[in-house]
Amino acid sequence: MPFLPITREETEALGWDCPDFVLVTGDAYVDHPTFGPAIISRVLESHGYRVAMLAQPDWRTARDFTRFGKPRLGFMVSAGNIDSMVAHYTAARRRRSDDAYSPGNRAGLRPDRAVTVYAKKIRALYPDSPIVIGGLEASLRRFAHYDYWDDKIRPSVLVESGADLLSYGMGERQAVEIADRLAAGEPVSSLRDIRGTCCLIPTSEYEPGPAVDCPSYEQVCASKREYAVSCRKQQDEQDAVRGRRVLQKHGKLLLVQNPPALPLDGAELDAVYELPYMRTWHPCYAEQGGVPAIQEVEFSITHNRGCFGGCNFCAIAFHQGRMVTTRSEESVLREAKLLTEQPHFKGYIHDVGGPTANFRAPSCEKQKRLGLCAGKKCLAPTPCPALEVDHSAYLNLLRKVRALPGVKRVFIRSGIRFDYLMEDKDKTFLHELIEHHVSGQLKVAPEHCSAAVLDAMGKPHIESYLAFQREFFRYTKKIGKEQYLVPYLMSSHPGSTLRDAVELALFLKREHLRPEQVQDFYPTPGTISTCMFYTGLDPYTLEPVYVPRTEKEKAMQRALLQYFDPSKRELVEEALRAAGRGDLIGYGEHCLIPPAAGRRPRPGKDANTPRARGGKPAGRSGKGEKKPGSKLGGRWEKDAERERKRR
């Protein structure tokens, strides 16, 4: 099966007078089932619709947008796999110099706020053509939302873009229903009742019914408390079983969010992932070196959707939802066999995962009937007593995949919930994970060690990670392997004070961890953590939450996580003194950094010198720092030794 047409000549060669839909995307055209535009276009095609792909059109002219003429049924518009602002800017709001979703890793091939820019351009050219926006950018911006890059509240993207309809979440069901009803002759203005969509209605035309009223756009602009209330209501209704219609006024217009679309069941997921994808980028990008984003997923398999982990900083719960659904074992095995037949396959399947790899069943029986609990988490701060933990189905699946002819190894690179894993009394999966599915390093996400910060993140407390770490290294040693844990850590999350960052630095020293990269909290639309960042309030309690706001404090928190780097020494010292922890400057075993060159430790302020108290140079544990799983250097030890000799 060829790629979908990307030029007018290709549509004419197919005998089309015009396409039914033109799907506009901010990404390069990659026909692979981990790319949302590819899935929606292939689903529509499988239902008999003619779809043309318009990837990364030049928004500064009309030329690309008129390439196919006016489509018979309308335009579907997406920014691509990620929010265009996240694609363009770092957490420090600095412009990125590359874009993995563009040919040749080239930046600048899509506009900021791509959904809005594309939709406005289409509206100007084709005033009466239906425009449906979707994908992650539209989904997370569907209500009035805090925009980190402008540092202000922006209205719903449906209001800003001028589109007719917004599809949120995983959009297969909505796309087909929208297409069928438009094809049946219904005007787009009448499509006000489709699950998983939002529409705008003049307030005078709204017919009252069961619904949840959110504070209006004007109210959330005027009051941070009202914004927090709005966030909680929106999050609580993001459940396909119990979710209700949600309303939010924008001036004289009423934004109506219909209840979430029902997740695809196993057979439906199988059908979606077994559509005839080309599984690579379009050949038109060959001269530019292809599209880098395919490299990580080309030989990966998605076996599930949804995540009941529900971390506060993660957008998955607000986009995919918390209900876990899975593909059948047979479907996954068929895809794995298909991968072995690809021309570049070397015997390694890079992932059999999803939002959380080791979720292959709903969290409990109750949530199948009643939905997931509003305002509660299945795993944090401690696992719910009703949580059902079972890795047997996932384990059997992995065993069968790695037994396929041509498969040398099967790795798991997407997230493993170690807290869920440690609740499983049967350690068979844990041991087989360590023995068969780690490619030298296993990435896990404890994120922090402070209980207060982890509570703000919606994460389990650090004891769960420590238990997992002990078992990982114990079993790794038992089977004679050298493998590493690479923990993801986050600085400056709401709730994290400088003293919490110091606590994390001490934890890293104690556990012999030296992260090469540290992630600053990135406030993206649609998350609970972003609400905390903007309002300074926990939306579920309306209690104040400390928020690191200045670039200086963020830099200090980040530096503390890399206290061992001499280039960050001055900033670490400033952070320690600001936190009232000058006792951690010195040569004592507990110290994080040595004193500055030429400065004598201050009695009562800095830790005593080795000569005074017999301590060891900073960074020494007395037993050596190396152990499996840590990446270490000896820079502080050498610096401290030179300074000791100088004195």
Over residues 350-378, the pLDDT tens digits come to 999 999 999 999 999 999 899 999 999 99
Q: pLDDT by residue (tens digit) across 103-145?
A: 999 999 999 999 999 999 999 999 999 999 999 999 999 999 9
Q: For the CA atoms of the chain, what is the radius of gyration?
A: 26
pLDDT at residue number 415: 86
Q: pLDDT by residue (tens digit) across 319-344?
A: 999 999 999 999 999 999 999 999 99
Q: pLDDT by residue (tens digit) across 46-105?
A: 999 999 999 999 999 999 999 999 999 999 999 999 999 999 999 999 999 999 999 999
DSSP β-bridge partners for residue 55: 25
pLDDT at residue number 414: 83
Q: Tell which wins on pLDDT, 413 or 118.
A: 118
Q: pLDDT by residue (tens digit) across 18-57?
A: 999 999 999 999 999 999 999 999 999 999 999 999 999 9
Tokens 């209001």 sit on residue:
159
To the nearest whole number, what is the mean pLDDT of the chain? 92
> Which whole number is the average pLDDT over 597-610?
54
> Which whole number is the average pLDDT over 399-422?
95
φ/ψ of 288, rounded to 5, equals -95, 0
What band does 386 get if pLDDT is binned at 50, 70 and 90? very high
Please state, in angstroms and rounded to a whole number, the distance separating the CA atoms of residues 56 and 108: 10
pLDDT at residue number 604: 52
Q: pLDDT by residue (tens digit) across 444-480?
A: 999 999 999 999 999 999 999 999 999 999 999 999 9
Please state, in angstroms and rounded to a whole number, the distance separating the CA atoms of residues 6 and 194: 29
List C-alpha distances in Å: 338 to 167, 278, 279, 329, 410. 31, 11, 10, 14, 14
The total number of residues shown for the chain amounts to 647
DSSP-based three-state secondary structure for 34: coil
Percent of the chain with pLDDT over 90: 89
> Which whole number is the average pLDDT over 613-641?
37
pLDDT at residue number 602: 57
Say if residues 85 and 57 touch (Cβ distance below 8 Å).
Answer: no
Residue 606 has pLDDT above 60, yes or no: no
What band does 607 get if pLDDT is binned at 50, 70 and 90? low
pLDDT at residue number 208: 85
> Which whole number is the average pLDDT over 504-519?
91
Residue 615 has pLDDT above 50, yes or no: no
pLDDT at residue number 209: 86
Please state, in angstroms and rounded to a whole number, the distance separating the CA atoms of residues 133 and 199: 11
Residue 597 has pLDDT above 50, yes or no: yes
Q: pLDDT by residue (tens digit) across 208-266?
A: 889 999 999 999 999 999 999 999 999 999 999 999 999 999 999 999 999 999 999 99
DSSP-based three-state secondary structure for 20: coil
pLDDT at residue number 644: 40
Residue 610 has pLDDT above 90, yes or no: no
List C-alpha distances in Å: 590 to 242, 448, 594, 613. 52, 20, 11, 12
Q: pLDDT by residue (tens digit) across 191-214?
A: 999 999 999 999 988 888 899 999
Please state, in angstroms and rounded to a whole number, the distance separating the CA atoms of residues 18 and 6: 12
CATH code for residues 8-199: 3.40.50.280
